[in-house]
Amino acid sequence: MSGLIITKNHAKSLSKSQNLFNLARKVIPSGVSSPVRYSEPYPFYVKKAQGSSIWDEDGNHYTDFCNGYGALLLGHRRKEIISAVKKQLEIGTLYGTPTSLEIELSKLIIKNYPSIQKVRLVNSGSEATMTAIRLARGFTKKKKIIKFEGCYHGSHESMLVKAGSGSAHSGISISDGVPEDFSKNTIVAQYNNIEQLESVITKNKDIAGVIVEPILANMGLVLPQKNYLKEMRKITKQHDIPLIFDEIVTGFRLGVGGAQKYFGITPDITTLGKALSNGFVISAVGGRRDIMDQLAPNGKVYEASTFAGNPISVVAGISSIKTMTALKNKIYPKLEEHCNVLSRTISELADDMRIPNQLNHISSMFQIFFSDSPVIDYKTSKKSDTKKFHKFFHHLLKQGIFIPPSQFETAFFSYSHTPDDIEKTIDAYRHALKMVKN
Ligand SMILES: *Cc1c(COP(=O)(O)O)cnc(C)c1O
């Protein structure tokens, strides 16, 4: 394939990206550091970013709706965060002993998440959910974890599972290298199906916890039906089962207080990541004091990391939360308004062109599905036309709009998008829709 892609208005050369990908494949498995970054025929290679913009190695400009898979709520290189990090770089990057900064960040998290009484800082979201699950098991002395089909909670053994034949079965791993001994302790239930959850919980006495993305952002975007989360909370409470809200996407994104504030639910354990630091490496697991106090060294649930609480990530977290809190009355209404306008417009455009579509959106998150039927869970999400989505993604990219390259991801606004960006994006969607019409 030649590196030159020509469209009606644009001619983009991607020859440098293509060459870099060929080099990458020789030294990096599949050429990428994380699977979703690969897209046919090759991903574009980024040179730099600012605000809502990304530039690739060939000098092309893109308006970013991937935003680090939701991490960059404030946009690329938000000034307060960059200057806080620069200051910290001058005095140290890793000490191997505690700092007052960790207390400051933990207090800021606790203040915004009343369900969290104590919090431990970790590096990645995968570590946070791994620890949350270990805590639930250590606390209850039980084995099984219920997760929901289509929810993503990181890349560790017990979460890399899909439903067996029929729903609410012991999970089957989606990855080689995970013995059945691990996956059999994860029960996979159907999202938005409260009766099924209730029946699984009533039948099984060995449930250590229920983990859920309150808004499912890893199966495209799927919203909880009315009262679904409330009912989930009620049933888990009745049975004394810790409820884990995986708010790695929704935390600080649906509002400073995340999905739990938005829906008025108090989970027992919460995981945070992504927007917590607006683009630095940090995640957190927090929750009820009696559960969190199980952690070593005082407790018997082990979790540890060399880089946890490193001052660079921690000052980024502090500065992010302070900025998001100070500007919350501007940030969240603006994000929602922009997202509403874009989502409504795209959906109308698609309807006008008689393209079967479902547009799910909430707050600053949106995704279009090429499907006839409402997308409410894994099965209905899977019904959508992924081939069409793939073409659609490339038509957007050619016009300088970058959304995640998969139907089963979510697009994200950042606070840095301007009305101009949105106009340009609507034009690009209009054109891309035309191109995939048949
Ligand atoms: C991204 C994500 C994770 C994993 O976080 P990493 O930092 O990639 O390990 C876990 N849960 C949810 C809901 C996520 O979106």
Q: Which residues pair with 216 in a beta bridge?
A: 222
Rounded to whole angstroms, the Cα distance separating 374 from 246 reads: 24
- Contact (CB, 8 A) for 125 and 106: no
- List the residue whose alpha carbon is closest to atom 5 of ligand 1: 125
Pocket test for ligand 1, best of 33, 152, 158, 285 (most atoms within 8 A of CB): 152
Instruction: With both helix axes pointing from N to C terminus, report the angle between 311-326 and 79-89 in degrees, rounded to the nearest 10.
Output: 150
Which atom of ligand 1 sits closest to the CA of residue 218?
A: 15
Contact 229, 215 (CB under 8 A): no
Same fold, 4-76+328-435 and 79-326: no
Whether the pTM exceeds 0.85: the reply is yes
* pLDDT reported for residue 167: 55
Residue 168: predicted pLDDT: 64
- Ranges of residues in the chain with a pLDDT under 50 are 1-10
Select 4-76+328-435's CATH number: 3.90.1150.10, 3.90.1300.10, 3.30.9.10, 1.10.287.3510.
3.90.1150.10
CA-nearest residue for atom 6, ligand 1, is: 125
Decide: 336 and 344 in contact? Cβ < 8 Å: no
The answer for residues whose C-beta is within 8 angstroms of residue 21's C-beta and 6 or more apart is: 31, 42, 43, 45
β-strand 207-212 against 46-50: which pairing, if any?
unpaired
Domain 79-326 sits in CATH at 3.40.640.10
**Residues acting as catalytic residues:** 152, 246, 274
Ligand 1 mean position, distance from CA 154 (Å):
5
Compute, in angstroms, the gap from residue 158 CA to the centroid of ligand 1: 14
DSSP state of 223: P
86: which residues sit within 8 A by CB, 6+ positions away?
none
Q: What angle do CA 274, 275, 280 make, to 5 degrees?
A: 65
What are the extents of the domains in the chain?
4-76+328-435, 79-326
Closest Cα to atom 14, ligand 1: which residue?
Answer: 248
The atom of ligand 1 lying closest to the CA of 129 is 10
Which of 34, 153, 283 best tests ligand 1's pocket when mutated (most atoms within 8 Å of CB)? 153
List the one residue out of 277, 241, 274, 291 whose CA is nearest residue 115: 291
H-type alpha helices, 99-227:
100-112, 125-140, 180-183, 194-203
Ligand 1 centroid to 420 CA: how many Å?
31
Q: How far apart are CA 50 and CA 82, in angstroms?
A: 11
Residues 55 and 48: their CA atoms lie apart, in Å, by: 6
**pLDDT tens digits, one per residue of 273-317:** 999 999 999 999 999 999 999 999 999 999 999 999 999 999 999
Q: Which ligand 1 atom sits nearest the alpha carbon of residue 125?
A: 5
Strand partners, 62: 54
Whether residue 156 contacts residue 136, with contact meaning beta carbons closer than 8 Å, is answered with no
C-alpha 274 – ligand 1 centre gap (Å): 8
For residue 221, the Cα-to-chain-centroid distance in whole angstroms is 10
Long-range contacts of 385-394 (CB under 8 A, 24+ apart): 385/356, 388/436, 390/39, 390/40, 391/435, 391/436, 392/368, 392/432, 392/433, 392/435, 392/436, 393/39
Q: Which residues line ligand 1 (CB under 6 A)?
A: 124-126, 129, 152-154, 213, 217-218, 246, 248-249, 273, 283
Phi/psi for 143 (5° steps) reads: -110, -45
In this prediction, residue 3 carries a pLDDT of 44
How far is 386 from 369, CA to CA, in rounded Å? 8
CA 155 to ligand 1 center in whole angstroms = 8
Nearest to 167 by CA among 384, 378, 385: 378
Pocket test for ligand 1, best of 72, 123, 129, 252 (most atoms within 8 A of CB): 129
**Strands 207-212, 144-148: parallel, antiparallel or unpaired by DSSP?**
parallel
